[in-house]
């Protein structure tokens, strides 16, 4: 690929913003960003923005025909796990039908498609998981994400599937992910209850964005796991965050997942093995402390405070926010 024409779908979400910014800084690609909103979360003079709803096959076809990308990066998804459990038709339209539309358009454009999946395709009984382990999703969210993976496997297009988990980081206008919610709550000296029986590797969103760019540069396709270095509980993550940000860890109380009485079951003993990505694409996952120091620096430079209007689902009484963007619509 001598000229990289990049189409980033879901560009207004946390990951989408990071991907666009990284390619702007680190490549000579021609970049088109697209989300369901009428305007970009952050306007960049070198990036063209087009509003698109991926649940509309007609809209996706028109977008891809106009842009003629060599690579499409799909950062759009409905990732609110409990909402997916109760609003199944919408979840399928966004997480599966949307991917079908992108795959079909990519085939006609002879474009590669990069897709983001999740550790929720596993049941969380025997983690951490490698790419060779058999998926057994517990929740409807996990089932839609596995179905979206199968869409790409059944297609004859060049594709890359990156499974990740517990994304955290800072970007403009996105709702609180786990880390930012904790910073906001503990900064206000509000006590929080955090589950100590959900195990996995929290992933700095900047690391995932870099892995995407690196895989595209090296033309590494197929399936890779991308996650943080440390496999720990949500509670332990919260305590480490308090240490990095100089906040009171005494405000954090450990609880069990079953106490939350959530609509969707969660994989408890999860985690992703990243050895394949480290070996083949040079991925170097951040430790929890390294990732949190980066977020702290980004927050310090930002003129906006972290959004604290909703707690993640690993804290008591609330739902997990969308990893892709605020709300339930695709980006």
Question: Is residue 249 in a domain?
Answer: no
Range of the domain at 148: 5-175+201-230+271-286
Collapsed DSSP state (helix, strand, coil) of residue 326: coil
Residue 26 maps to which CATH number?
Answer: 3.40.50.720
Question: Is residue 306 in a domain?
Answer: no
- Write the pLDDT tens digit of every residue in 124-150: 999 999 999 999 999 999 999 999 999
Cα–Cα distance, 245 to 291 (Å, whole number): 12
Question: Is residue 160 in a domain?
Answer: yes
Q: To which residue do tokens 């028109």 refer?
A: 62
Task: Please give the biggest Cα pair distance in the chain.
Answer: 56
Question: Is residue 324 in a domain?
Answer: no
- Write the pLDDT tens digit of every residue in 146-205: 999 999 999 999 999 999 999 999 998 887 899 999 999 999 999 999 999 999 999 999
Question: Is residue 158 in a domain?
Answer: yes
Domain count of the chain? 1
Tokens of 140: 């409807």
Q: How confident is the model at residue 313 (pLDDT cuts 50, 70, 90)?
A: low
Question: Is residue 300 in a domain?
Answer: no
Q: Are 33 and 48 in contact (CB under 8 A)?
A: yes
Active site residue ranges: 141
Cα–Cα distance, 49 to 45 (Å, whole number): 10
Question: Is residue 206 in a domain?
Answer: yes
| Single pTM value for the model | 0.90
281-314 residues labelled b (16+ CB within 10 A) or e (exposed): bebebbebebbbebbbeebeeeeeebbbebbbbb
Question: Is residue 327 in a domain?
Answer: no
């Amino acid at each position: 690929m001598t000229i990289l024409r990049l189409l980033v779908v879901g560009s207004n979400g946390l990951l989408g913003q990071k991907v666009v910014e990284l390619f702007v800084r680190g490549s000579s690609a021609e970049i088109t960003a697209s989300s369901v909103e009428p305007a970009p979360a952050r306007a960049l003079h070198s990036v063209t923005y087009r509003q698109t709803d991926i649940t509309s096959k007609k809209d996706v076809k028109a977008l891809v025909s106009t842009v003629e990308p060599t690579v499409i990066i799909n950062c759009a998804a409905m990732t609110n796990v409990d909402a997916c459990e109760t609003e199944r038709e919408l979840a399928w339209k966004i997480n599966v039908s949307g991917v079908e539309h992108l795959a079909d358009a990519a085939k006609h454009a002879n474009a590669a498609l990069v897709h983001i999946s999740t550790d929720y395709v596993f049941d969380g009984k025997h983690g951490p998981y490698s790419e060779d382990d058999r998926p057994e999703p517990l929740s409807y969210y996990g089932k839609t994400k596995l179905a979206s993976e199968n869409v790409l496997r059944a297609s004859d297009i060049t594709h890359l599937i990156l499974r990740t988990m517990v994304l955290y980081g800072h970007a403009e206008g996105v709702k609180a992910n786990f880390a930012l919610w904790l910073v906001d709550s503990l900064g206000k000296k509000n006590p929080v209850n955090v589950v100590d029986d959900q195990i996995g590797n929290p992933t700095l969103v900047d690391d995932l964005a870099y892995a995407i760019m690196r895989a595209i540069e090296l033309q590494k396709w197929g399936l890779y796991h991308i996650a943080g270095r440390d496999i720990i509980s949500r509670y332990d993550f919260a305590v480490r965050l308090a240490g990095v940000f100089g906040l009171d860890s005494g405000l954090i109380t450990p609880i069990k997942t079953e106490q939350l009485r959530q609509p969707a079951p969660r994989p408890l003993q999860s985690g992703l093995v990243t050895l394949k990505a480290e070996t083949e694409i040079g991925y170097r996952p951040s430790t929890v402390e390294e990732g949190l120091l980066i977020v702290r620096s980004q927050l310090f430079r930002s003129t906006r405070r972290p959004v604290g209007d909703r707690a993640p689902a690993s804290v008591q009484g609330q739902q997990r926010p969308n990893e892709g963007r605020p709300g339930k619509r695709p980006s």
